[in-house]
Amino acid sequence: MVVIFTQKADDNLASLVKAVDEVQKNNAKLGTFVVGVSGVEEADFEKLQTTHKLTTPLTIAKDKDGPPKYTLNKEAAVTVVVYKRGGVVSKNFAFKDTKAAADKAKEIAEAATEALK
């Protein structure tokens, strides 16, 4: 499973999500979703969805800082958590902005593929 927490909904985020979407298309067991935190609004995701036709579910966290159990770094605009089977964290990534996250999209997609093994 891949969980992407984001403080911003923009084209760079869409690039990251599309890279993980590609892994998801061939691996239905992967399970991926994006969670908006720190002021991301439903309208932001609707615009992103309309523009980029993403297949990954987009949702907004009830707590603006994200689910408490994740203790997300407020300095990270994007946090990605990749889980192996059984809920064990395989890899996690934190980025100061969405551009940095987009630049590592291939590495994140590879981590998602690896977690399926």
The pLDDT, as a whole number, for residue 18 is 95
For the chain, which ranges sit under pLDDT 50? Answer: none
The pLDDT, as a whole number, for residue 91 is 96
Q: Which residue has the tokens 């991301």?
A: 40
Distance CA 32, CA 55 (A): 10
Residues 17 and 4 sit within 8 Å (Cβ to Cβ): yes
- Where helices occur in 1-117 by DSSP H, the ranges are 11-26, 42-52, 98-103, 105-115
The pLDDT, as a whole number, for residue 83 is 95
Residues 101 and 95 sit within 8 Å (Cβ to Cβ): yes
The pLDDT, as a whole number, for residue 60 is 96
Label residue 53 left, alpha or beta by phi (over 0 means left) and psi (-120 to 50 means alpha): left
89's tokens: 């964290």
